[in-house]
Amino acid sequence: MKNNSKYLGLVTKKFNEFFLVDLNKEYFGISERFLCKVRKSINFKDQFIYVGDEVEIDNVDLRSKRALITSLKKRKNLLIRPSVANISNIYIIFSVEEPELNLSQVNRFLIAAESMEVEVSLVLTKCDLISDQKINLLIDRFGKWGYQTITLNLQKTEYFKNLLVELKQKKCSIFMGPSGVGKTTLLNMIIPSLQKNTAPVSHKIKRGKNTTRNVELFSISNQSYIVDTPGFNMQPLDVDIRLLPNLFPEIYKQVIDEGIHCKFRNCLHLNDEGCNLNKSFERYSFYKEMIESSKNQYYQNQED
């Protein structure tokens, strides 16, 4: 049974030249998942299709659940690593132990996430492995960085329920962080029917085992999705120097909430005269380092 009408779908998984595309429930009454290829005659002008992309499909075969992708809808944004389109929220996930919390990695992940101009949240997992006192110190610390931290612990299932309620209000949330911190465990707690593979961290190398290999998008309600991603460590970032102040809540909140004004409109908040930023926050030295390395990068590119 073939049907030549066009339908709108969402790419939930990608492997080689195949895509899994979820069709909207309204077409057939139930949510249908189709295995698709791109129609040969279509040239997307060297554009790739990513998980999270909205596509139009055609040649729908309801029996074999196959179809062809015929067009790609304009995307709102595209995260480069891992490649995911149309994200509304980024959840940066770190464990407090196993693997040990690495603040400079937390920093890099947060900055990379902020550069996507979407809502960014911080989640700490494995809170059963340290004392409540230490957890409170971390909550306090990250609060000063501008993030209200969500703390999780496998023994306290109600915390996962609260997070699920929150995630259902977002369109497409992505879980990002190093390997072994518990991203897939979190997903399994939220969608118990999934039971995706997880693995303990290696005691020998004290890192995760890269258990999740693919980016995959899961539905949690009619209009809400979560993306699980393979863990990795974030490399130093190469960000446009003028954008850096917008990537630190400690800075942009002073501008937005307190209305601080510096003498020069594009003030980089170094030790310039006329700068009114309150610089007494923990990550200021990190901010300055990033400005310096971006400047070097900038001059190097000019010389190339």
* Contacts to ligand GTP by CB under 6 A: 125-126, 128-129, 152-154, 179-185, 198-201, 208-212, 230-231
Taking the least distance from each CB to ligand GTP, the nearer of 72 and 93 is 93
Q: Which residues of this chain interact with Zn ion, rule CB under 5 A? A: 262, 267, 269, 275, 277
Among 212, 225, 281, 294, binds Mg ion (CB under 5 A): 212
Smallest distance, ligand GTP to C-beta of residue 66, A = 30
Check: CB of residue 88 under 8 Å from CB of residue 77.
no
Smallest distance, ligand GTP to C-beta of residue 260, A = 38
Smallest distance, Mg ion to C-beta of residue 81, A = 16
Taking the least distance from each CB to Zn ion, the nearer of 93 and 277 is 277
At a CB cut-off of 8 Å and minimum separation 6, what does 42 contact?
69, 70, 71
The site that binds Mg ion (CB under 5 A) totals a number of residues, namely 4
Distance CA 295, CA 262 (A): 21
| Residue 8 interacting entry, from Mg ion, Zn ion, ligand GTP, none, C-beta within 5 to 8 Å by type | none
| Residue 275 interacting entry, from ligand GTP, Mg ion, Zn ion, none, C-beta within 5 to 8 Å by type | Zn ion
Alpha helices in 123-240 (DSSP H): 132-144, 157-167, 183-190
| Residue 31 interacting entry, from Zn ion, Mg ion, ligand GTP, none, C-beta within 5 to 8 Å by type | none
Smallest distance, Mg ion to C-beta of residue 164, A = 18
The secondary structure of residue 51, as a DSSP letter, is B
Taking the least distance from each CB to Mg ion, the nearer of 38 and 101 is 101
Written in H, E and C, the secondary structure of 243-297 is HHHHHCHHHHHHHHHCCCCCCCCCCCCCCCCCCCCCCCCCCHHHHHHHHHHHHHH
Distance CA 109, CA 275 (A): 28
List the x/- string, 167-196, binding to Mg ion by CB under 5 A. Answer: ----------------xx------------
Distance CA 206, CA 221 (A): 36
Residue 229 interacts with Mg ion (CB under 5 A): yes or no: no
Matching residue, tokens 């991603």: 229
Contact region for Mg ion (CB under 5 A) — 36-44, 63-71, 160-168, 210-218? Answer: 210-218
Helix axes 284-303, 103-114, angle to 10 degrees: 60
Distance CA 16, CA 23 (A): 21
| Residue 128 interacting entry, from Zn ion, Mg ion, ligand GTP, none, C-beta within 5 to 8 Å by type | ligand GTP
Distance CA 57, CA 3 (A): 11
Smallest distance, Zn ion to C-beta of residue 144, A = 19
